[in-house]
Amino acid sequence: SVGPDVIDVTSITKNGFFTFDPGFMSTASCESKITFIDGDEGILLHRGYPIEQLAVSSDYIETCYLLLNGELPTPAQKAEFAQAIKDNSNVDQSVVNVIKSFKRDTHPMAILCSAVAALAGVYHAEIDITNAESRKLTAYRLIGQMPTLSAMVYKHRKGEEFIAPDTSLGYAENYLHMTFGKAGEAPNVSQTLAKAMDRIFVLHADHEQNASTSTVRLSGSSGTNPFAAIAAGISTLWGPSHGGANEAVLEMLEEIGSVENIESCVARAKDKTSGFRLMGFGHRVYKNFDPRAKVMKQTCDEVLGELGLENSPLLAIAKRLEQIALEDPYFISKKLYPNVDFYSGIILKAIEIPTEMFTVIFALGRAVGWYSHWDEMVSTSYKIGRPRQLYTGSVKRDYPAK
């Protein structure tokens, strides 16, 4: 046991079995009925429905309903849900002021994170996490305001006037209107782009216990305000090993610059001393194609085709890079395949979303997944998350006598 002079790991096993599992390689942190992944087979199901089918046949609002409620909505339920989200899309002036207080060159994720944390302040007195109706209203507020906040972040950085939500528009269409619209002008959003954006939201809606969702659950397990827990998730998503990878992929493709430079980029990614990884490749769970990446690639072809950008040099570089990596023994042996972020950046660039906004788009789509997990946790019995550690520090010692 931990005595005065020795540190013995068996001390922490006296109340039961102790596992040491850095990175949660083989430890489930919770039970969940929301999303199923088979990483070896490349399968992703939301409430049982394959992501490929949802991406093509459903839309983001319906997918949100499904994730939150467990079943697809009837047409009437969907209409009511969509309206409730629209009714809650306006942002309180205090949060608008928070966004406006940032320097214009601040990274968008820092502003978004603060804005969502500020929502915790706006609604704190009203939120009762033990009450299902209160949680439902909180979901409407989060899903309703994420596009408004994301567009405000973009407009603030550009120094342009904010555009109010237009409740006559669809979810993704309204987001693009608030982002690219001009004050005083009627909405004029391309349906092709709105459809592509909606599909990007669907493909990012949930992905079980990834780092940001686990963070939302862990943070929420203390009973904290759900907006505060979501803000913690946004912070986690920002990192380049997670949601920040979409930004990093595009920077990498632009840096490669032409097809001739791909081989040296791949060689650098294989060189462990370079500190460089092929961004948009590899996944903790998928040891096969990420099913979202397949749909994203197809969407990329469709969108660029419809925009007449099918000869885009970035698309050519991405496709050749994918081909080379998939044939390379290093990537084959480590089962490294393109992930969801590999092609999303090319679509977003075609939509003229600036690179530094890419992770904001990811957060916008993922908000419903984070919330669904938080809601699932707090509506059943749960314990505060409290991982243990393997202490490797100094043994007990006496403070020097004075």
> Which stretches of the chain bind ligand ACO, using CB under 6 A?
23, 241-243, 245, 269, 277-284, 334, 336, 339-341
Nearer to ligand ACO, 23 or 393 (CB): 23
- CB 398, min distance to ligand ACO, A: 41
- CB 325, min distance to ligand ACO, A: 8
DSSP assignment of 198-212: HHHHHHHS--TT-HH
Contact call for residues 204 and 366 (beta carbons, < 8 A): yes
Helices (H), 257-290: 262-270
With H, G, I as helix, E, B as strand and everything else as coil, classify residue 161. Answer: coil
Minimal CB distance residue for ligand ACO: 282
Q: Which of 251, 278, 281 is nearest to 264 (CA)?
A: 278
Nearer to ligand ACO, 224 or 288 (CB): 288
- Per the annotation, the verdict on 341 as an active-site residue is yes
- Select which of 198, 290, 341, 375 is catalytic: 341
- Select which of 204, 207, 242, 373 is catalytic: 242
Taking the mean position of all CA atoms in its chain, how far away is CA 79? 26
Q: Which residues are CB-neighbours of 336 under 8 A, at least 6 positions away?
A: 278, 281, 282, 325, 330
- Per the annotation, the verdict on 107 as an active-site residue is no
- CB 282, min distance to ligand ACO, A: 2
- CB 394, min distance to ligand ACO, A: 30
- Select which of 46, 204, 207, 283 is catalytic: 283
- Per the annotation, the verdict on 242 as an active-site residue is yes
Residue 384 is classified by DSSP as -
Nearer to ligand ACO, 277 or 319 (CB): 277
Nearer to ligand ACO, 278 or 377 (CB): 278
| Angstrom distances, CA of residue 247 to CA of 141, 145, 344, 356 | 27, 23, 9, 6
Rounded Cα distance between 338 and 63, Å, is 24
- CB 100, min distance to ligand ACO, A: 30
Nearer to ligand ACO, 163 or 336 (CB): 336
* Amino acid letter, 347: I
How many distinct helices (H) and strands (E) make up the chain?
A: 17, 3
Catalytically active residues, by annotation? 242, 283, 341
